[in-house]
Amino acid sequence: MRKVSITLCLLAAVVLFQCCSHSKKIAAVPVTYQNNIQQIVQTSCAPCHIAGKGNKKSLDNYTAAKDNIDEIIARIQKNPTDHGFMPMRNAKLSDQTIAAFIDWKAKGFREN
């Protein structure tokens, strides 16, 4: 009787763990210009890189951000004490924000 109880408990544990391992995975939402990059540029690069508001290269549209992505990534990855660090006079962007630019480039510059 005891062996049957132990066997049933072990069987129940196996079934439970098996069900847990087949949980649904949440699909990652791709980084796009309209959903991610545009907002970062508007909040972190303004007013200097917004057309009509700054005196620097405008980066406030899809084409400009795409065409300058290598420079953008290089500058936002710098440390605040490095020459050319961006965003100038502000805190370094989070690793997650920097990763959004890198992912956007790596995945082919999705616009929307």
pLDDT tens digit sequence for 62-91:
999 999 999 999 999 999 999 999 999 999
Number of domains in the chain: 1
pLDDT of 90: 94
Mean pLDDT of all residues in 55-64: 91
- Whether 86 is covered by a domain: the verdict is yes
pLDDT at 9 over 70: no
Structure tokens at 61: 């549209």
Return mean pLDDT, the chain: 84
- Whether 64 is covered by a domain: the verdict is yes
pLDDT of 39: 96
Place of tokens 């959004």: 100
d(CA 101, CA 70): 10
Q: Which domain holds residue 101?
A: 33-106
Q: What is the CA radius of gyration of the chain?
A: 24
- Whether 16 is covered by a domain: the verdict is no
